[in-house]
A = this chain, B = another copy of it.
Amino acid sequence: MAKPSAISGFPEWLPAQRAVENVVLDTCREVFELHGFGSLETRAVETMADLLRKGEIDKEVYAVKRLHEPAGAITDPGSELALHFDLTVPFARYVVQHAGKLDFPYRRYQMQKVWRGERPQEGRYREFAQVDIDVVGLDTLPFHYDVEVPLVMAEVFERLNALGLPKISIRVNNRKVSEGFYRGVGFTEPTKVLGLVDKLDKIGAEKVGYLLRTQCEATDEMIAQALSLATISGADLSVIDEVLALGVEHPLLTEGLAELSAVLQAADGVLTADFSISRGLDYYTGTVFESTMRGFEHLGSVCSGGRYDSLASDGKTTYPGVGISMGLSRVLGPLFARGYTMNRSVPTCVLVALANDEERPAAEKVASSLRKRGISALVSPTAAKFGKQIKFADKRGIPFVWFITDDGHQVKDIRSGDQTSADRKKWTPPAEDLHPSIILQEN
């Protein structure tokens, strides 16, 4: 085998990085299951026809084909296969396909790889992991799920922050607010307005104003109103008053502000209203979410979602839903590049040292006793000199080395050098040493 090399856009983590990823996945899963979300995995492939329904992304799809597909085996282009590019389209398909066997409202989480043929860049990969939660109803879905879904994800982010990862904040808007407001101001194409206002950060107010004037027939007053809305943000209900103070009126705006105010009230400061969010106007029908990671704002949103009233439907029944999706690799790749890792590269907490090869069965007995009490333990690969065995542990970050001596058993904390006698059936490490923890290693 010649030395193989990486494939651009298909990242692979080193063992300690993968362990960080598992901590994140475990945290997600624990929070989701406490909130009654069940696990789901869908197949990696969908039919090309199902994927290309969302036309704009056709360039990014990876087609999948048996290398020796018999000629003419595929007669129906609808049966051609491709890798899924997100978890929402497969989920919508799964719900419609298995509706008869699901209980609604159906709450699921899904943590899987997805594939897109995009040009790779920081935080953008061709193969990457996503973590989604969604609640879908049968024909109707109460509004309170719009409140619940972002709060569940916020609980995940709070726990991850406590584990040492940067803070991620979720911002919220409501499509009805934006659409109603722009209609109330006098715009006839609110989607177009939002697309232009979205460029505010990049090109500035003056240029956005110029574009609104030339492309949306905006007057000076309309431009001023549009720009005013985009600058309102905050975590408490005063943002609602700020919007009302602009004096614009429209039934959709009133409805949207009521929904948004319900979300903010229940969120109690955890979510921030931000009227510049323009995400997915074609797709979402009410509440929308975006999130940025502190210190990594240049990555853009790392966790987004919203309410969709008509994504999944079989023509007769509609399954309205609300969901939120975290770009896991998008978050982790930049964190790993910055030096986030584990304080050990292996799960092992104790290395049982070997004085000689005959001692292996006795050493295995020690390891087995520790494992029975949930302590990850490993017997030394060879009966090398003790100094070498300690180096073996040190290199991997294993904190404890166990010695079987003539005077009884001893365990050494190789970081402090402290060595004490120990009973294999009773000794336990300090709680913080039982499992590896996340650290930021200066590069």
Contacts and interface: CB of A to CB of B under 8 A. Distances in A.
Interface of A: 1-7, 10-15, 18-19, 21-22, 33-45, 47-48, 50, 53, 58-69, 81-83, 92-94, 96-98, 101-103, 105-108, 113, 115, 117, 127, 142, 144, 266, 312-315, 345-348, 360-361, 371, 374-378, 381-382, 395-396
Contact of A378 (B35, B43, B375): B35
Contact of A1 (B60, B93, B376): B93
Given A15-B102, A35-B377, A36-B346, 16 more contacts: A1-B93, A1-B312, A1-B315, A3-B96, A4-B93, A4-B96, A14-B101, A21-B41, A22-B39, A34-B376, A35-B371, A36-B377, A37-B347, A45-B127, A62-B64, A62-B65
Contacts of A68: 58-59, 117
- 3 closest A-B pairs by beta carbon, nearest first, are A36-B378, A66-B117, A33-B347
7 contacts: A1-B313, A14-B101, A37-B347, A43-B127, A44-B44, A64-B83, A66-B117
Contacts of A97: 3-6
Contact of A61 (B33, B66, B98): B66
A106 to B, nearest CB: 8
Taking each of A1, A58, A374, A381, which has the highest tally of chain B beta carbons within 10 Å of its own beta carbon? A1
Copies in the complex: 2
A59 B382 CA distance: 43
A374 B34 CA distance: 7
Contacts of A375: 34
Nearest to A41: B18
Given A45-B127, A94-B12, A38 B345 contact: yes
Given A39-B22, A102-B15, A1 B314 contact: yes
Nearest to A51: B67
Contacts of A1: 50, 53, 92-93, 96, 312-315
Nearest to A350: B36
Contact of A63 (B6, B67, B395): B67
A50 B94 CA distance: 34
A69 B117 CA distance: 9
A381 B63 contact: no
A371 B31 CA distance: 9
